[in-house]
């Protein structure tokens, strides 16, 4: 089990908390909590070691487009980069409702 922490510039807090996905084979759970504008904090807990660079790249791309000011907890069980991006988008959409 590996824990990774990242921070990205952000200026758009969501309206509310969100919970999407599940921790299961090939999937990912995301918990998102709004924070004051300025930073997106991301903590990744993953069952797959050695993918730090992949995580950083996927998250950098996402937060370059979606500057969501929130704390994100990602609980991963082998999700692909496509699933990670999908779940992040779902969390952001849920937080806007």
Give the Å distances, CA to CA, from 9 to 65, 70, 76, 83.
11, 10, 23, 23
Its pTM stands at 0.93
Across the chain, what does the average pLDDT equal?
94
Q: Which pLDDT value is given to residue 97? A: 83
Architecture of domain 2-96: 2-Layer Sandwich (3.30)
Relative to beta strand 70-77, strand 18-20 is unpaired
Identify the band that residue 95 occupies on the pLDDT scale cut at 50, 70 and 90: very high
Is the model's pLDDT at 49 over the cut of 80? yes
Q: How far apart are CA 90 and CA 97, in angstroms?
A: 11
Q: How far apart are CA 75 and CA 69, in angstroms?
A: 19
Cβ atoms within 10 Å of 91's Cβ, excluding its own: 25
Identify the band that residue 75 occupies on the pLDDT scale cut at 50, 70 and 90: very high
pLDDT in tens, 16-45: 999 999 987 778 999 999 998 789 999 999
């Amino acid at each position: 089990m590996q824990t990774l922490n990242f921070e990205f510039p952000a200026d758009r807090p969501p309206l509310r908390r969100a919970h999407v996905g599940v921790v299961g084979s090939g999937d990912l759970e995301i918990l998102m909590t709004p924070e004051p504008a300025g930073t997106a904090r991301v903590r990744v807990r993953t069952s797959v070691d050695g993918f730090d660079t992949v995580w950083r790249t996927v998250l950098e791309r996402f937060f370059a487009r979606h500057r969501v000011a929130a704390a994100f907890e990602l609980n991963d069980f082998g999700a692909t980069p496509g699933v990670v991006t999908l779940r992040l988008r779902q969390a952001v959409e849920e937080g806007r409702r």
